[in-house]
Amino acid sequence: MSGVPVGITALGLMPFSVGAKENEEQKKRLKIVVVGAHPDDPETGCGGTMLLYAREGHEVVSTYLTRGEAGIHGESYEEAALTRSNESVEACKILNARAEFLGQIDGSCEITKNRYVEMYDFLKEESPDIVFTHWPIDSHRDHRICSILVYDAWLNLNKRFELYYFEVETGGQTQNFSPSNFIDISPIIEKKHAACFCHVSQKMEVVFRDYHGPMEKFRRMQANYDYAEAFIKHDQSFSKII
Ligand SMILES: [Zn+2]
């Protein structure tokens, strides 16, 4: 994966940089922005990769399109938003990431002219080197909307950052996902799980048992790592870093 710092190795591609000349490049502090629809999407989809970037000294921003308003049975939208925002903030402490919330409503995400502008303005202001977001073929409407908003911003920002797609609950949610890149997250797997398990309201033990656990096992077989996260890189996403 181009743009990947030393310590993160992608299958089939060179690590971020090798050799004396590139040592200067290694010192560049990258900004990584992850955009997910709900609290827990960035953590479960690429929490391991976020941890690896943060460990290398890069800035990591975990962005949530919504606050998970519809995600706790028996709680009002306001109550659930507070609970789930706090869970994300706790997870971000473990991930060494900054949490950002974009103000859409769980289950009612919109694609409108104003929402396109909102995402464009957010990503323009953040000025990331690399962005991770949902793969657009997904059974959850909010995930699809999130992906399209980020994609549109990427186009209108002249593809200035590298764009990668992550998977969540593949089979049930993400579909038709054939990874181009795998990241070895074995060194930080326990920390990733700890961040995911901050989402107590989402019964994360069950979600991991039924979805993310099997997904991790499948990807680790493909990648021949103990634990792997898988991504699809947009094929017009060219590195401006190396
Ligand atoms: Zn979600």
Distance 15 CA to ligand 1 centre (A): 30
Q: Which amino acid is at 83?
A: T
Closest CA to 134 of 119, 113, 117: 119
Check if the beta carbon of residue 229 is closer than 8 Å to that of residue 168: no
Helix (H, G, I), strand (E, B) or coil at 238: coil
* Distance from C-alpha of 37 to C-alpha of 147, rounded to nearest angstrom: 9
* Distance from C-alpha of 62 to C-alpha of 157, rounded to nearest angstrom: 20
Confidence of residue 28 (pLDDT cuts 50, 70, 90): confident
Instruction: Give the torsion sign (CA, 39, 40, 43, 45).
Output: negative
Check if the beta carbon of residue 24 is closer than 8 Å to that of residue 35: no
Helix (H, G, I), strand (E, B) or coil at 56: coil
Distance 143 CA to ligand 1 centre (A): 6
pLDDT tens per residue, range 186-206 = 999 999 999 999 999 999 989
**Number of domains into which the chain is organized:** 1
pLDDT tens per residue, range 141-167 = 999 999 999 999 999 999 999 999 999
Check if the beta carbon of residue 154 is closer than 8 Å to that of residue 73: no
Distance 105 CA to ligand 1 centre (A): 12
Kindly give the interhelix angle for 113-126 and 141-156, rounded to the nearest 10 degrees.
60
The pTM for the full model equals 0.90
pLDDT of 12 strictly over 50: no
In a domain, residue 34? The reply is yes
In a domain, residue 59? The reply is yes
The mean predicted confidence, pLDDT, of the chain is: 89
Place of tokens 């890149």: 181
Distance 216 CA to ligand 1 centre (A): 17
Neighbouring CB atoms inside 10 A of 13's CB total 13
Structural domain for 129, as ranges: 29-233
In a domain, residue 17? The reply is no
In a domain, residue 16? The reply is no
Distance 41 CA to ligand 1 centre (A): 5
Distance 184 CA to ligand 1 centre (A): 23
Higher pLDDT, 202 or 5: 202
Q: Which amino acid is at 220?
A: R
What are the residues whose beta carbons fall under 8 Å from the beta carbon of 153, sequence distance 6 or more? Answer: 116, 119, 120, 122, 123, 124
Burial (CB < 10 A; 0-12, 13-18, 19+), residue 65, is buried
The CATH number given to whatever domain includes residue 66 is: 3.40.50.10320
In a domain, residue 14? The reply is no
Place of tokens 């859409």: 104
Confidence of residue 27 (pLDDT cuts 50, 70, 90): low
Helix (H, G, I), strand (E, B) or coil at 134: strand
Instruction: Report the pLDDT averaged over residues 175-185.
Output: 95
Check if the beta carbon of residue 183 is closer than 8 Å to that of residue 10: yes
Distance 239 CA to ligand 1 centre (A): 28
Distance 40 CA to ligand 1 centre (A): 7
In a domain, residue 4? The reply is no
In a domain, residue 241? The reply is no
Distance 5 CA to ligand 1 centre (A): 27
Tokens of 24: 């200067």
Distance 13 CA to ligand 1 centre (A): 30
Check if the beta carbon of residue 66 is closer than 8 Å to that of residue 106: yes
In a domain, residue 190? The reply is yes
Distance 91 CA to ligand 1 centre (A): 15
How many residues does the structure list for the chain? 242
Check if the beta carbon of residue 82 is closer than 8 Å to that of residue 69: no
